[in-house]
Amino acid sequence: MRIIRRRAGVLIALCFLASCGGGGGSGAGGPGGVVNTPVAPVPQPPPAAGGLLALSEVAQVDNAVYLSAPPGDTRLFIVDRTGRVLVMENGALRATPFLDVSSRTSTAGEGGLLSIAFDPQFASNGRVYIVYVARDNVITLERYTVGSDRNVLDPASQLTVLQIPHPDFTNHYGGQLAFGPDDMLYLSTGDGGGAGDPRGNAQNPLSLLGKLLRLDVRNATATRSYEIPASNPYNGMSSRRNEIWALGLRNPWRFSFDGNLLYIADVGQAQREEVDISDAGAGGLNYGWNILEGGACYNGGSCDTAGLTLPVHEYDHGANNANGCSITGGYVYRGAKIAHLSGSYVFSDYCGGYLKSLRYAGGGVPTVTTWDVAKVGGVLSFGRDGSGELYLIGSSGKIYRIDNRSTSSG
C-alpha cells in the first residue's frame, strides 16, 4: 500500500467537541418528538460469523477533518480544516486543490472548513456544497460547480446559500452536510458554545443553533438560495424558524443516513455521549439538550422528559474519561468488501481512540462491538468513498481505510 503524505502546517490536535463541564440550566421543553419510539431498520443481511477488521493507512493530510466522494466516483475528496478540499486520485494527491477558501476561513477554536456534500445529481450538474466558519465567526453554507477541469471547482460559481451568526464562542459549530434520501440538504449546527448552552439556543425554535436544518436547494438562485420544504415541521410558522428539522442538539459534529434511518452522534457536556436514531422522515423531534445530557437530566437534577426523544445508545465518560470524552459519529457500512460489518453503524470517540460498531434492530438495546484494531490516537471523523468503503481520520492527519483483516494489505 502506497501511503501519500501532505504537510500543510503545524499539527493541531483537535477535539471538535468536548467542552469541559458545568454550568447551564434546564431550558424550556420543545415541541414534537416521541420518547423512544421504535423505528423500522433498513432490511439487512445477518452478520457473517466471525471476522476481523484492520486499519490501512492510505494518506496523511495535516488538518484533515472529513472525506467523501460521489457514488461511483473513484476519487477521494479530503477536507482540510484550513479551507481546502484536496483530490486524491489513483493513490496520489493532486497538486491543485478542488477548492480553496482558506482566505475566508477562520480556524479559531473548533472552526474551519468542516465538511462537503455532493449534489445527488452531481454527475450531471457538478454541484458541490461546503460549510465553513467565516472570519466573522459566521457558519457559512456555499455552493460551487465543477469547471472545465473535473478536478477543480469554479470559484466564480460561488453561491452563498445560508449564513448563521455564531457570536460569543468559538466552539460547537456542528458542521455536517449531507443529502437525505429525499434529496433535501441537511446541515447540523452546534448550540453556539459555552458550557451548558448559556443562551438556550438548542431549545429555542427561533434560533438556528443546536439544530438539524433541512433545505431544498434544487432550484437555488442568487436571489433565492433555498426553499423551505413543504414537509418541514414548522413550515409557515412565524414563531419558529422554518428551516428547522430537529432541535435539542448540543454539538452534532457528524450525522449520516442509512436508507430510511437517520443516525446522529451528539457530543455531550462532561458526562455522557449519545447516538440518536430516528426515522429519516420524522421531523420536529427534540433530542433533549440542555434538559438532558444523553438520557439523564442535565447537571443531575430532575427534569420533565415528556416529548423528548431519548438516545438509542449512550455511554458515560467514566473515571478519567476511560470510556471516552467526545463521540465521533460515522456511517452504517454498506460496502462490498466486509461482509461481517454489513449493516453496522461505525463510530468512535476522540479520547477513546477505538473503533466500535452497533447494530440497530428497530427497538431495544443495540448490539455494540469493539473491534480489535491498532490504536490511532484521537479520532476526528469518518469518511465514505464512492463504493461505500469507510475511512477513519485521526488527529495526526493520518487517514485509514477500514479493511477486512484477512484481505488487508496495510
138-176: pLDDT as tens digits: 999 999 999 999 999 999 999 999 999 999 999 999 999
- Torsion angle defined by CA atoms of residues 341, 343, 344 and 346, in that order, rounded to the nearest 10 degrees: 90
Q: Residues of the chain with pLDDT > 90: what percent?
A: 84
CB of 47 closer than 8 Å to CB of 344: yes
pLDDT at 30 exceeding the cut of 80: no
Q: How far apart are CA 155 and CA 145, in angstroms?
A: 8
Contacts of 203 (CB under 8 A, 6+ apart): 27, 28, 29, 30, 197, 210, 247, 248, 286, 289, 290, 291
Question: Can you give the length of the chain in residues?
Answer: 410
Name the residue among 14, 95, 25, 120 with its Cα closest to residue 62.
14
Confidence grade of residue 365 (pLDDT, cut at 50, 70, 90) = confident
pLDDT, greater one: 29 or 390: 390
| Mean pLDDT in residue range 173-202 | 98
Confidence grade of residue 406 (pLDDT, cut at 50, 70, 90) = confident
pLDDT value at residue 323: 94
pLDDT at 28 exceeding the cut of 80: no
pLDDT value at residue 43: 47
pLDDT value at residue 407: 61
| Mean pLDDT in residue range 64-69 | 98
- At residue 101, φ and ψ (nearest 5 deg) are -120, 25
pLDDT at 73 exceeding the cut of 60: yes
- At residue 299, φ and ψ (nearest 5 deg) are 65, 15
Rg (CA), the chain: 20
Question: Over the stretch 273-318, which tens digit does the pLDDT of each residue have?
Answer: 999 999 999 999 999 999 999 999 998 889 999 999 999 999 999 9
pLDDT value at residue 361: 86
pLDDT value at residue 248: 98
* E-state strands within 134-253: 138-146, 153-165, 177-179, 185-188, 211-215, 244-247
| Mean pLDDT in residue range 129-136 | 98
Name the residue among 75, 117, 125, 119 with its Cα closest to residue 97.
75
Question: Over the stretch 317-334, which tens digit does the pLDDT of each residue have?
Answer: 999 999 999 999 999 999
Using the structure block, give the residue that is written with the C-alpha cell 479559531: 108
Domain definitions of the chain by residue range: 4-404
pLDDT value at residue 283: 98
| Mean pLDDT in residue range 255-284 | 97
Least confident residue range of 9-18, 182-191, 245-254, 345-354: 9-18
Reply yes or no on domain 4-404 having CATH 2.120.10.30.
Answer: yes
